[in-house]
Amino acid sequence: MKVYNTLTRKKEELKTIKKNEVGIYSCGPTVYWNQHIGHMYAYVQWDTLVRLLRYLGNKVTWVMNITDVGHMTSDEDVGEDKMEKGAKREGLSVWEVAKKYEKQFLESLRLLNISTPDVLCRATEHIEEQIDLAKKIEARGFTYQTKTGLVYDTAKFPEYANFANLKLTEMEAGARVEVDEEKKKPWDFLLWVTNQPNHVMKWPSPWGEGFPGWHLECTAMSTRYLGNKFDIHTGGKEHIGVHHTNEIAQGYGAFGSQTANYWLHNGWLTFEGAKMSKSLGNVVLATDLKEKGFDSLALRYLILSSNYKQGLDFNFRNLSVAAEALVKLKAAAGVPGEGGVIESVKKEFLEKMEDDLSTPEAIAVVWKMVKGEYKKEDIKATLLELDKILGLKLAEKEEVKVPEMVIKLVEERNKAKKDKNWAEADRLREEIKKRGYLVEDTKDDCKIKKIMLS
Ligand SMILES: [Zn+2]
């Protein structure tokens, strides 16, 4: 299999450390708020990579972190701790916020049929490992101490700028006001943060009571579960410049070499061209899809019809198209009778997938088969086989279910009609329409039809 490695800026043959074994670490969610479908984009793609590697006969260990401490509102040391921000917003404790949004994340994984990672590890439960790692980095002379904490001295790692092609001179000129004025360079970063009297989550450490810097957890937990050297590290492309650059620096500091051999980065899911964000009011959650009458796996299909590196511009029109495509595939996978897997199709499908996870091309191979002249039973058998990688649950019957809210509105409208309250009936028809359904009156009843949402 070939993958695009950000480390070398090349598509390379994936050579694993141990034969037929792959260790993968994926940067996981910061559980201070809902994980929307923009976040879930990455996890669908990496899950498909994991499924593919398993299908090809590898023993895969997939590790993902849950960030529940230390992530500032900026990815650098600047700003407020995201967990504390979430706690203030909701009037909950930081621990309750973490629990609430971890649950929301796990439910989103389930709705999108994303395999549960083999290890799902919380930063707050690996404080000891993080302190140990910081001690190693300190012992090898890569740190200095300030009043704010233990700082990574990037001057000791001359290759610091290489991974992201950082222009350090320009960065120095444009640097923001620092939280820690004693830092030698603006991009030096905190491994351990001390002297923050208002911070709720605190642990004792050799540098004083405090909490870990955000980048430390990923290096500490990836190496804890996969070894100091492992195969693949994934994350969003926004992590290249700061988070992964700092992780690589930490690896060199502690072990004298970078931790992962392959660094894979996904593009973003945008909503009609804009980044999905609370402030723009365009946030969509996996749970919202069902309420709008969509099979949540239509989103999985839509995500896989985009290339992981390119990302996807989401809207409800392309989700509708994806939903229809999924219904057709399920119909083809649901014909009666038993057939055999069409080996030539499987081979072509795998060739596309093994070429840096080219899912759009692999899905095109599937459609070529569905529309091709094969026995229906063989198409079915092949679809079900390839679905082990696609994860679309093609064997499951589609459930066409009108949301309860819509049913309630239809009932209210029926009553208004009976009472000859036509204005109210018209108002309710509009309410129903807003939820994506059209009511058509028949002689003594009515029919509900789903309409295209935009
Ligand atoms: Zn990370």
- The domain locations on the chain are 2-266, 293-390, 404-450
Fold annotation for 2-266: Rossmann fold (3.40.50)
Cβ atoms < 10 Å from Cβ of 117: 22
CA of 28 to the centre of ligand 1 (A): 7
CA of 226 to the centre of ligand 1 (A): 14
Given a contact cutoff of 8 angstroms between Cβ atoms, the answer to whether 97 and 87 are in contact is yes
Give the tokens for residue 20. 């037929």
In angstroms, the CA 50 to CA 47 distance is: 5
Question: pLDDT tens across 28-63, in order?
Answer: 999 999 999 999 999 999 999 999 999 999 999 999
CATH 1.20.120.640 for the 293-390 domain, yes or no: yes
Nearest to residue 115, comparing CAs of 106, 123, 124?
106
Q: What is the pLDDT of residue 180?
A: 78
Cβ atoms < 10 Å from Cβ of 389: 22
Confidence of residue 401 (pLDDT cuts 50, 70, 90): low
CA of 17 to the centre of ligand 1 (A): 21
Q: Is the dihedral of CA 50, 215, 242, 76 positive or negative?
A: positive
Q: Tell me which H or E stretch contains 425.
A: helix 422-434
Nearest to residue 141, comparing CAs of 158, 159, 160, 156?
156
Cβ atoms < 10 Å from Cβ of 310: 11
CA of 215 to the centre of ligand 1 (A): 6
Question: pLDDT tens across 107-141, in order?
Answer: 999 999 999 999 999 999 999 999 999 999 999 99
CA of 258 to the centre of ligand 1 (A): 14
Given a contact cutoff of 8 angstroms between Cβ atoms, the answer to whether 152 and 143 are in contact is yes
Given a contact cutoff of 8 angstroms between Cβ atoms, the answer to whether 187 and 154 are in contact is yes
Helix, coil or strand: residue 343: helix
CA of 82 to the centre of ligand 1 (A): 15
CA of 234 to the centre of ligand 1 (A): 8
- CA distances 134 to 207, 250, 380, Å, are 10, 8, 54
Residue range 102-108: mean pLDDT, rounded: 97
